Amino acid sequence: MKFESMYNHFMKELTDEKNWNAIGKASIQIVVIILIAMVVVRIAKIGIRKFFELRTHGPMALNATAERRYRTILRLLQSVISYVVYFWAIIAILSAMNIRVTGLLAGAGIIGLAVGFGAQSLVKDIITGFFIIFEDQFGVGDYIKITSTEGTVMEIGLRTTKIKGMSGEVNIIPNGSITEVVNYSINNSIAIIDVSVAYNSDITKAEKLIEQYLKTLPAKHEEIVSEPTLLGVQNVVGAEVTLRISVETLPMQHFAISRMIRRDVKDIFDRNGIEIPYPKMMVYERNNDQKIEEGE
């Protein structure tokens, strides 16, 4: 009898026109809320990006440091806007479903107070992220090293930082675990290049050729800040003499400049008969004690 009563009540509610009208109205409201939230987020992100583009590429152009900071704030504002708008959308959807939001928020506040004692790592991440952005320790586009992770900063949030590694992998690091950061993108980089010359080569001639070549570089490559310097003989070991070159470049350009200089110096040595050291093997003939020198 009880089961039959429950069944009749269920069928009555299922066939009630008012209930279906309420469900249809709530469904339309939910769809409209979701669409509005998506449109608002998209328009807001585009508007913020356009504003920053006008600010950074306008008549009063910013320097590299300010532009880097603007990129960081841009990503942060876009994330904050997404969080705020979607949170509002969730509250509106709950209201459309006749769920008492005020009571839910009050209960969530009490639960949040209890959970807060166990969420110390989350609070630490947010506080650390705030100070990273506020103190401008590093920004989007910087090449940094955090403990064993090294790469380019993709995004800085209040909770995590995303770093793209050399091989394309994305490392997501909680801000609270960041204790030491090496930023390679703030100041100019210094390239130290060692060039080896055979022991019996004309060292003076090799140094003059290198100095003549280095004087031509600043006019050809804007990445080089000042004229490179030949520091001189750095080391003499075995059958080779090491010459050291120092070059100041724009941030993170020293890798490419170093490779280019090594290649060019090798070509200059080849054209001018300067021998580069290579392993050699001595072969002795027992019959006439004649020594033959061969390349390995």
- The domain spanning residue 266 has which CATH number? 3.30.70.100
- Position with higher pLDDT, 272 vs 159: 272
With respect to residue 254, please indicate whether it lies within any of the assigned structural domains. yes
What is the residue type of 102? T
Q: What is the pLDDT of residue 114?
A: 47
**Shared domain check, 208 and 132:** no
- Model confidence over 109-121: pLDDT tens digits? 545 554 555 566 7
Name the residue range of residue 207's domain. 189-271
| Distance, CA of 49 to chain centre | 19
For every residue of 239-284, DSSP letters joined together read TEEEEEEEEEESTT-HHHHHHHHHHHHHHHHHHTTPPPP--EEEEE
Domain total in the chain = 3
Return the ∠ at Cα 190 (arms to 186 and 192), rounded to 5°.
155
Give the sheet arrangement for strand 160-164, strand by strand.
170-174, 160-164, 149-156, 143-146, 181-183
Q: What 3-state class would DSSP assign to 168?
A: coil
- Model confidence over 8-38: pLDDT tens digits? 555 555 566 666 677 777 788 888 888 888 8
- How far, in Å, CA of 2 to CA of 275, rounded? 103
160 pLDDT more than 90: no
**Shared domain check, 134 and 112:** no
Residue 206: CB partners within 8 Å, gap ≥ 6? 197, 243, 269, 274
The H-assigned helical ranges of the chain are 2-14, 17-57, 64-96, 101-116, 120-134, 203-215, 217-220, 254-271
